[in-house]
Amino acid sequence: MSASKGFKEYDERAVIAMMKELIQLDKGAVQKKSVIKAISYETLTDDDKRKALDAVNIIERKETVD
């Protein structure tokens, strides 16, 4: 689902979960092993920008088993 719909349905839990995912992508699950690499915004096509936003703004309900 979209981020805005997820925020409405799951409230603060969705925001917290999305922030954790973005931080993990930036910093990596293993210290100093980032998952993504920064690229210049100007080098992206409009299609690249749309695809990136679509990929980032997806919220999915996950079940955890403890």
Q: Is the pLDDT of residue 26 over 80?
A: no
Q: How confident is the model at residue 61 (pLDDT cuts 50, 70, 90)?
A: low
**In this predicted model, what pLDDT tens digit does every residue of 28-54 receive, in sequence order?**
777 777 777 778 889 999 998 888 777
- Nearest-angstrom CA–CA distance, 18 and 7: 10
pLDDT the model gives residue 41: 86
Q: What is the DSSP string of 3-66?
A: HHHHHHHHTHHHHHHHHHHHHHHHH-SSTT--S-----GGGS-HHHHHHHHHHHTB--------
Q: Is the pLDDT of residue 63 over 70?
A: no
Greatest mean pLDDT range, 1-10, 21-30, 38-47: 38-47
The domain ranges of the chain are 3-56
